Amino acid sequence: MQKPIESGPYGRIAWRLIPFLLACYAVAIVDRFNIGFAKLQLLQDLKLDDAVFGLAAGVFSVGYVALEVPSNLLLARIGIRKTLLRIMMLWGVVTVLLALVQNQYQLYALRFLLGAAEGGFFPGILFYLTLWFPDRIRGRMTSLFVMAVPLGGVIAGPLSGLIMDGMRGAHGLSGWQWLFIIEGLPSVLLGGVAYCYLPDGPRSASWLGADEKLRVEHDLAEDRRAARATRSFAAALREPKVYLLAFIYFAFFCSLNTILLWTPTLLRRVGVATAIDIGWLSGAISVVSALGMVAIGYSSDRRMERQWHVALCGLAAAACFLALQLARNNVALTVLLLAMASIGIFAILSLFWTIPNATLEGDAAAGGIALISAIGSFGGAVCPAFIGWMSVATGNIYQPLDAVGALLAIGMVTLLIGVPKAGATLPLSEPA
């Protein structure tokens, strides 16, 4: 029977690291996707259309992908403190600067720089967790960390609506300008806190005793001896599973970006009038998503099964995307379908990363995970631009959403057919 997480040093490590890392990631999610709320006013003020918005939303991922792998490889050498100081302060400053944009080209440039600044944060934290937690616990820590995605939505929805409607016109600035200013500043502060608060690894953690440090080192060494893993980044590049997982993550990431970027637009299209109402509905969807993510993670862990849980969640989300067109005149049904799709998508996020974590280590854990994330995250560049362009070209936002649903379904079938069952190698245990 597996020991509870509180035994040994791991409870102390979890309480010390995970809440802070989750807060940092939640702020990143808010700053990455608040353009979806800003769009409700920004496009009209700057006289832009959905195609411009889609390209601006997508170009973020171009900068993100360009810096993701180099940033993660650098993290392995300089440590988490300097890495997060650089990443978080830069992305906070760029978010604030978005309040100054006056045309589409400035918007494109700053969204690219925002992605470049944030590049490496998510895979960097995944690598950082491998320095602290053995396999039997790391899945739980990953699921706790990615809870920041729906929690970021819980924060961003109501907060963005209140800022945009409540501060519109204050000191001569539009609501969307205040949105970028207010939501960009916390990351600058957290970057400085991260440099002072986080140790680079167990050996530099003054709050761990000598025996506890030895326990962690021993457990991680046991994992390395027991693992049949790719041992180098170069070998990871030659591993077909890396690219198969990257395609699956690409399909998933398209659906994730669609939910996070286009939910405010879809709610506005079906008749929700004010930014405050859209914000509260978006926040409610995120709350439901977080609860569903916990329940599905618990089910997956109790059964020690991965692939079918991920695949069924993805297929359910795909069906919701395809059904959205049937709810185009119904607010309640649209909210229900978006909530169901969000549950499935966020559950995939919490379960997916334990698979590469179980098969890659060392340089491959830093570089291989980043490579999967970088290739898959390219969906974040392609999908928003595609949706924006196609919705302008056809006058119908639901057609590109059908394409996203179909791609996600293909990705889930690929997971079932092409990826060996990995549920027994790294159970999630107790999820968030």
Confidence of residue 420 (pLDDT cuts 50, 70, 90): low
Q: Does residue 2 have a pLDDT over 50?
A: no
Would you state the pLDDT for residue 186?
Answer: 93
Mean pLDDT taken over the chain: 84
d(CA 58, CA 381): 4
d(CA 277, CA 395): 25
d(CA 53, CA 50): 5
Would you state the pLDDT for residue 96?
Answer: 95
Which residue segments constitute the domains of the chain, with CATH numbers given? 10-418 (1.20.1250.20)
HSE-up (13 A, CA, CB side) for residue 303: 10
Cα angle vertex 222, ends 216, 223, to 5°? Answer: 90
Mean pLDDT of 316-341: 93
d(CA 213, CA 16): 15
226 C-beta neighbours (distance < 10 Å), count: 10
Of the given ranges (177-181, 226-230, 410-414), which has the lowest mean pLDDT? 226-230
d(CA 388, CA 393): 9
pLDDT in tens, 101-134: 999 999 999 999 999 888 888 878 888 888 888 8
Would you state the pLDDT for residue 235?
Answer: 64
| Sole residue written with tokens 């800022």 | 163
For 56, residues 6+ apart whose C-beta sits below 8 A from its C-beta are 35, 104, 107, 108, 111
Q: Rg for the chain (alpha carbons), in Å? A: 21
Percent of the chain with pLDDT over 90: 33
Would you state the pLDDT for residue 221?
Answer: 82
Q: Does residue 423 have a pLDDT over 80?
A: no
Mean pLDDT of 19-41: 90
Would you state the pLDDT for residue 324?
Answer: 94
Query: 327 and 411 in contact (C-beta within 8 Å)?
Result: no
- Reported for 290-293, long-range contacts at CB under 8 A and 24+ positions apart, including other chains, are 290/147, 290/150, 290/151, 290/154, 290/346, 292/342, 292/343, 292/344, 292/346, 292/347, 293/147, 293/150, 293/343, 293/346, 293/347, 293/349, 293/350, 293/431, 293/432
Would you state the pLDDT for residue 72?
Answer: 73
For 158, residues 6+ apart whose C-beta sits below 8 A from its C-beta are 276, 279, 280, 282, 283
Confidence of residue 352 (pLDDT cuts 50, 70, 90): confident
Q: Does residue 427 have a pLDDT over 50?
A: no
Q: Does residue 360 have a pLDDT over 70?
A: no
Three-class SS state of 200: coil
Q: Does residue 230 have a pLDDT over 60?
A: no
Mean pLDDT of 155-179: 90
Confidence of residue 228 (pLDDT cuts 50, 70, 90): low
Q: Name the residue among 107, 88, 112, 87 with its Cα closest to residue 38.
A: 107
Q: Does residue 431 have a pLDDT over 50?
A: no
Would you state the pLDDT for residue 1?
Answer: 38
Confidence of residue 344 (pLDDT cuts 50, 70, 90): very high
Q: Does residue 9 have a pLDDT over 80?
A: yes
Query: 318 and 408 in contact (C-beta within 8 Å)?
Result: yes
Confidence of residue 3 (pLDDT cuts 50, 70, 90): very low
State the DSSP code for 3.
Answer: P
Q: Does residue 335 have a pLDDT over 60?
A: yes
Q: Does residue 363 have a pLDDT over 90?
A: no
Would you state the pLDDT for residue 358?
Answer: 62
Would you state the pLDDT for residue 233?
Answer: 63
Confidence of residue 226 (pLDDT cuts 50, 70, 90): low
220 C-beta neighbours (distance < 10 Å), count: 18
Confidence of residue 430 (pLDDT cuts 50, 70, 90): very low
Strand partners for 230: 360
Mean pLDDT of 347-361: 72
Strand partners for 360: 230
Cα angle vertex 242, ends 237, 247, to 5°? Answer: 125
| Sole residue written with tokens 């693992």 | 227
Alpha helix locations (H) across 304-330? 307-323
